[in-house]
Structure 1
Amino acid sequence: MNKKIVSYLLICILLGTFSSCNKALDVQSSRLAPEANSWKRLEDTRASLMGMYGLMRAALAEDNAHWLWGELRGGDFTSTSRSDLKAIINGNLNYNYPTLQTLSDWRRFYAVINSASTFIEHSGTVRANDQRYTEANWKADVAQARVMRAFAYFYMSRIWGNVPLITTSEEGEFVAKPATDQTIILNFAETEILKCINDLPGVYAGSNDPLLPNTYYGQGPGSWYGILITKYSAYAILAHIAAWQGHYIDCDAYTSHVVNELSTSQIQPSAMRVTGSNYLSDPTQSGNLFTGNNQRQILAFAFGATENVGSGHLEELTLAAPFVSKSVPDMYVSKDSITSIFPDWAQPGIAPDPRFGRDSVSKLYYEKCFTNFTGEIPVFSKVKCVINSNKGTLPMFNSAIVFTRLEEIKLLRAEALYNIWGPASPEAVALLNDVRSQRGVAVYDSRTDLLDAIFAERRKELIGEGWRWYDLVRYKKIKDPTFVKNMVNTKGIYWPVSVSVLATNPKLSQNSYWN
């Protein structure tokens, strides 16, 4: 385990610790320094904290795992030629492909957990030794570590269900620790966040924030938007923990903090216009969703403007000509799927959807989400942060891994309100229409089932952002008893545990569906 941790940290350091727009992040982790010298100065806590974020980014980025876990299974993408992607799409997660074996290994997350536990246990030493390390700063840092550890457990529980619960750094080299029931894991994650959420600022270095109104590690608020865990990103994580368990009253309470406190959080909606170039990932537009870090990201893991890494960008899988020199992408959304996702695209009298529609005068298709629709293979171009000018055989990308944003949370709250109040919930309708109107499309038609409309909107709005499989599971838990019987009750919604993990821990057993 220690070797694994050092390996991940080396990766993070070589990559520049994930956001070159913030010099504070480009710091070597103190985990590589001798332990006796690791917890003395303010600079040590900064290095360790940023290293923890780097480890989480590495866990999500390796083999483009964030999207392969969340977007492919039961999703809308088709693989052009890669057999490993086809296996995931078809639910054959136990096939013997190297990519699937890597994706089945949860040890990448235990590197994050161990790093967070180490910070929680040792950062108080710096507080005692360095007067520059204020109590508010220390509490906020420890709270970030606790929330990150909880987030890692939540993320793992969605993928594998039951996983070993480790809460101290001394347990980092566990050999024979059994898995803990998912309910206990998620209760631990929720409790951890609630214990420390009031120590988190709404905005780091925000002039009106009561906890940390001045610079944070020498940087102003613009350096930290979307990158660090705030009070509101913690509430967003809590909301998803609750929704995954079907605790919709709690989900409503948690999402209300995000949706109703925008003036305090400074979170902004994701811009989109029917015409013009301003869109979610246009690298020529400042403050777009996927490039760098910005106020449109509630929780994201950004890459620096000049970082070029082996994985971690959706564009590697989805882009082809005219954006890069590849003739066909690794995966794409078929024309039949596109028209199914956006069924109103050709209906007369209905406002065109900028995510996929057709201009009523020119009859040309909007190419904001899908380029070359009239060709054989459309290119999924929603995320297209290509930063090198020659677009050669080794193109550089810098899109962030965005976990959640305002529109996603609004639709999640609409889902919660539907499950609390039923199809007559006016607030659920209002939230759905809020997202739809922001995209310039018609309001919800009450002749359509409200829950179906909410999840259909999530499918349109969040395609390519890693939500599709988890949305399907939540939807089918409500709507499809057969799915619950055949997939949920048999643990078929989870990934198998990797062979290498099982081989090193005889107290673990394979998820029953994959035996």
Structure 2
Amino acid sequence: MNYIINKRNNFYKISAAVFMLLIGVGNFSCKKIDDVASTRLATEETNWKTLEDAKANLLSVYGLLRSATVADNGHWVLGDLRQGDFTITNRADLKAVVNGQLNASYPVINRLTNWRRFYAAINAASLFVERSKEILALDPRYTKLNNDVDVAQARMLRGFAYFYMSRIWGDVPLLTSSHDGEFIKLARTSQQKVLAYATNEVLASAKVVPFRYGGTDPIMPGLYYGADWPSWNGIVFTRLSAYIILAHIAAWQGNYIDAANYSKFVLDNQSTQYFVDGANPLDYIDMLALTENQNNYSPFAYKRANLMVGFPFEAGNGLSTANGHIEQLTLASPFIPKSMPEMFVPKDTILKAFPNAADLRFSIDVVTKQYRTNYFYNFQSERPIFNKVKVIYPSNTSGNVTLFSSSMVFSRMEEITLLRAEALAALGQKEDAFNALNRACNLRGISFSPTTTPDLMAAIFAERRRELMGEGWRWYDIIRYNRIKNSNGVFAVKNGQQMTFKQFEQAGGIYWPVSQDVITANSSITQNPYWQ
């Protein structure tokens, strides 16, 4: 993996070094969960002594979790390929994922089915929770408030990691403390208990972390590790991040009352990050901002308040990489020196997903009479290029290099607003659900009304499909939609036997298999039943 290091920004020397060191963690094969060594930036003799140690170790948790989510482009392979919109050009391993052959013998699939990378992040978070308070007695610059906020972030990251894992594997071992050397061999814990733990962790964090770091937020006023809010927004998780994660955990569990309440808190508190303390505002963004980074508002480029939950790869801090970005899979000439993309959205799928002639993401421009290129370049070719995300080093949207600096975006304003619309629709609050749906797509040229939208829930998920295409959401949206609809139609076929979604889910088909490396090393781990 290649990296470009830019030393202009002294503030992020530590974080850049940490992230660059850790981004490759997910590429290691794993013998067992117990093999995950605790993360260190220094030896035990010199670590946990200073303010700088606290900062470096906290950022290492962010770095490890970012690596866990994006290594081998996992966020998109896991989220966008199963029953998704993308067709694979020639990679057999990605074709296996598209075809539901998740136990196929390919190195990438073996690494993706290995949860080691997530436990590295979880262990680092637990270690921070347990050890960071030692610094209080050794460095007067490190205050109790600073430590409380840092520990809350570590707990939030730990809760987020467990939620993220649970969506992939269902039941996973629940480790709540750090372990050096050999870990205890644990069996899998029920998803219900894992998600309850994740909820408690994030809820506790939400009571402590501020809306903004390094600014005028009364929860934690003043500089944070010597830097202001424009330096931190889009880097660390905020109180809004916590409530977004809580809303998603609740929605995954079908608890739409909590999902509606948590998402409401986020939208009601947008003003806490709207044109305040000198940073770009948290806001809904138009098409040019989303896909061309106009006014530097795109959540994919740089670090922005619009990156509400996610992980940046800012080029100016030396974080551009070749792997860990959807562009590696979707771009080709003329954007990068590559003859064809590894995956693309077929023309018939595009036309089906974008039926509205006024949709600014894809339609025929009434002025130029040409197809819009915000999402798809060269639509009339055999393989239209999905160019919605194209943040090429150094954070430009064109060039002839193969390093990328786009962020891993888990949630932004449009996404959490659509989740709120989903929750409200599930609760039968249709008027408010329509309002949320229209607020989310207001800048996309389309709108919905009760008279023209007979199936509100279907419309919401169709809008999520369009707006969040290529952001790792498709498979998880399909799961939640089918849980709501509870259709008796054929959802999948296994060994020639047709299965409804309910049968498919009860058999464990919605989850990925666990790597055989994990099972071989730990006899307490059992395979997901669908993949036995």
With the length of structure 2 as denominator, give the TM-score of the two structures.
0.88
Q: Which residue number corresponds to residue 29 of structure 2?
A: none
> 1-side partners of 2:193 and 2:242: how far apart?
19
Q: State the Cα distance separating 1:192 from its structure 2 match.
A: 1.3
Q: Partners of 1:14 and 1:335 in 2: how far apart?
A: 36
CA distance in 2: counterparts of 1:386 and 1:14, whole angstroms = 12
Task: Please tell me the root mean square deviation across aligned C-alpha atoms, in Å.
Answer: 2.2
One-letter code of the match for 1:159?
Answer: I
Aligned match for 2:15, one of 17, 25, 32: 25
Whether 2:443 is the aligned partner of 1:429: answer: no
1:203 aligns with 2:212: yes
The correspondence of residues 38-437 of structure 1 with structure 2, limited to 5 A, is: 38-170=47-179, 173-174=182-183, 176-207=185-216, 209-266=217-274, 268-273=282-287, 278-282=288-292, 285-305=295-315, 306-345=318-357, 352-387=358-393, 391-392=399-400, 395-420=402-427, 422=428, 425-437=430-442
8 Å CA contact 1:303–1:398 kept in 2: the answer is yes
Secondary structure at the counterpart of residue 410 of structure 2: strand
What amino acid maps onto 1:226 in structure 2?
G
Distance 1:13 1:167, change over 3 A: farther
Contact 1:280 1:288 in 2 (8 A): yes
Instruction: Tell me whether 174-183 or 381-390 shows the greater mean CA deviation.
Output: 381-390
Structure 1: 5+ residue stretches without partners: 1-10, 346-351
Does residue 503 of the first structure (1) align with residue 520 of the second (2)? yes
Query: Counterpart amino acid of 2:214?
Result: A
What's the offset of the Cα at 1:387?
2.4
Quote the Cα distance in structure 2 between the aligned partners of 1:451 and 1:493.
21
- The letter of the residue matching 1:332 is F
Could you give the per-residue CA deviations for residues 349-398 of structure 1, whole angstroms, max 9, x where no partner exists? xxx21110111232101101000001111000000112269944x52211
1:470 aligns with 2:476: yes
- What TM-score, normalized to structure 1? 0.91
Alpha-carbon contact 1:259-1:410 (below 8 Å) kept = yes
CA–CA distance in 2 between the matches of 1:330 and 1:321? 12
Cα deviation per residue 1:96-149 (whole Å; 9 max; x = unaligned)? 111111110001000000000000000010012211111211111000000000
Quick one: which amino acid aligns to residue 412 of structure 1? L
Once the two structures are overlaid, the 10-residue window that deviates more, 428-437 or 284-293, is 284-293
Verify the 8 A CA contact 2:174 2:188 in the aligned structure 1. yes
CA contact (8 A) 1:232 1:265 kept: no
Q: Secondary structure at the match of 1:402?
A: strand
Question: Following the alignment from structure 1 to structure 2, what is the Cα–Cα distance between the partners of residues 179 and 462?
Answer: 32
Q: Residue 460 of structure 2 is aligned with which of 447, 454, 462?
A: 454
Structure 1 residues 287, 107: CA separation in 2 closer, same or farther (over 3 Å shift)? Answer: same
C-alpha separation in 1, matches of 2:233 and 2:82: 31
Q: From the superposition, tell whether residues 257 and 23 of structure 1 become closer, same or farther in structure 2 (CA, over 3 Å).
A: farther
Question: Residue in 2 aligned with 1:5?
Answer: none
**Equivalent residue, structure 2, for 1:348:** none
Unaligned runs of 5+ in 2: 22-38, 275-280, 489-499
> Is the Cα–Cα contact under 8 Å of residues 241 and 309 in structure 2 kept in the other structure?
yes
In 2, are the aligned partners of 1:72 and 1:89 still within 8 Å (CA)?
yes
Among residues 479, 482, 488, which one is paired with 2:505 in the alignment?
Answer: 488
> 8 Å contact 1:160–1:495 — kept in the other structure?
yes
Separation of aligned partners in 1, 2:150 and 2:470: 31
| Structure 2 counterpart of 1:213, one-letter code | P
Letter in structure 1 aligned against 2:434: V
Q: Structure 1 CA distance, aligned partners of 2:2 and 2:154?
A: 17
Deviant stretches of 4+, over 4 Å: 11-17, 27-30, 388-392
CA distance in 2, matches of 1:172, 1:360: 64
C-alpha displacement of 1:481: 3.9
CA distance in 2: counterparts of 1:246 and 1:442, whole angstroms: 26
Distance 1:362 1:295, change over 3 A: same
